[in-house]
Amino acid sequence: MLLKNHKLTSALQLINQQISLLKEETSVQKILQANILSRLNNANTPNILQNIQLAEFKVFSQWGDDGIIQFLVNYLDIKTKTFIEFGVQDYTEANTRFLLMNNNWSGLIMDGSAENMERVRQDDLYWKYNLTALNAFITCENINDLIAQNGFKGEIGLLHVDIDGNDYWVWKAITGISPVIVIVEYNSIFGKDNAWTVPYKADFYRTKQHYSNLYFGASLPALCDMAEEKGYAFVGSNSHGNNAYFVRKDAVKDLKIVNATEGYVLSQFREGRDKEGRLTYASGEARLNEIKGLEVFNTRSGKSERI
């Protein structure tokens, strides 16, 4: 029996080693292909300056954000090669992972799950690259301390805010850093005309607030207004309608600046749930109807209203 168990353990270890090797080989191939696409994007710079969606390609991002980010960091004059991203889950699908591995940037990632962050710390990339993975539930009250305590201050290359809730409020609260590029997730079902965000609640959790998972974050107009307050220009969204790109005005160069109406993209993904947690596949206006009557804060009027 002991011999059989030993053989089984050895076989499982061998399988895990082979899986790790395959994952590494796949990552290498994806990075090589992405670098070819990145060079093609550089050759297409005049057109991409007018529409950043033309730069899209996917390596580790959920959508095509890796390509946009690569174009921007290659085009803009960024001296400090550092990033901060929060709301990364286990970092297997994240917008800064390619930046870390391909460009050798250093960074801080944060997520509310201790298990997710421990998984990152156990990954080989954690010793191969200069990455800090921090378990933290982010609020307006703690975000500046979390950033400062981990050695980030002043200018950084990129900040990505994606926490499915208080995104507007947390970005507003950040004062200790000055990113060249800011990426913020927006809720496209709030529309292109409404300056809305969910009211601030320190313990906001998307699924807990409403079973549909559709009541979260801020509209694109609200984020564009915040960008203006902070000295950033809106340069467009990804083609899937969930991430907005802002560049600090002193660094924008020849990138086309657009307004919320021009840069708005209605998302097509159908992630809404019913009360039993099952996907409803609701799309278009039906998604907004799912959260009709819920409270939102109008960032232009400074008053609460109902959807």
Provide the domain limits for residue 137.
Answer: 2-306
Q: What's the confidence (pLDDT) of residue 28? A: 78
Give the DSSP letter string of the chain.
Answer: -HHHHHHHHHHHHHHHHHHHHHHHHHHHHHHHHHHHHHHHHHHTHHHHTT-GGGG---SSSSSSHHHHHHHHHHHS---S-EEEEE--TTSSS-SSHHHHHHH--EEEEEES-HHHHHHHHHSTHHHHS-EEEEE----TTTHHHHHHHTT--EEEEEEEE--SSSHHHHHHH--SEEEEEEEEE--GGG-SS--EEPPP-TT--HHHH-TTS---SB-HHHHHHHHHHHTEEEEEE-TTSSEEEEEEGGG-TTPPP--HHHH---------B-TTS-B----THHHHHHTTT-EEEETTTTEEEE-
C-alpha–C-alpha distance, residues 285 and 282, integer Å: 9
Q: What's the confidence (pLDDT) of residue 32? A: 84
C-alpha–C-alpha distance, residues 182 and 244, integer Å: 8
Full pLDDT tens readout for the chain, 307 residues:
555 555 555 655 655 555 555 556 567 788 888 889 999 999 999 999 999 999 999 999 999 999 999 999 999 999 999 999 999 999 999 999 999 999 999 999 999 999 999 999 999 999 999 999 999 999 999 999 999 999 999 999 999 999 999 999 999 999 999 999 999 999 999 999 999 999 999 999 999 999 999 999 999 999 999 999 999 999 999 999 999 999 999 999 999 999 999 999 999 999 999 999 999 999 988 999 999 999 999 999 999 999 9
Kindly report the pTM of this predicted structure. 0.91
CATH of the domain at 92: 3.40.50.150
How many domains does the chain contain in total? 1
User: Which residues on adjacent β-strands are paired with residue 156?
Assistant: 179
C-alpha–C-alpha distance, residues 172 and 138, integer Å: 13
C-alpha–C-alpha distance, residues 83 and 105, integer Å: 7
| CB-CB contact of 265 with 188 (8 Å) | yes
> Could you count the other beta carbons within 10 Å of the beta carbon of residue 206?
16
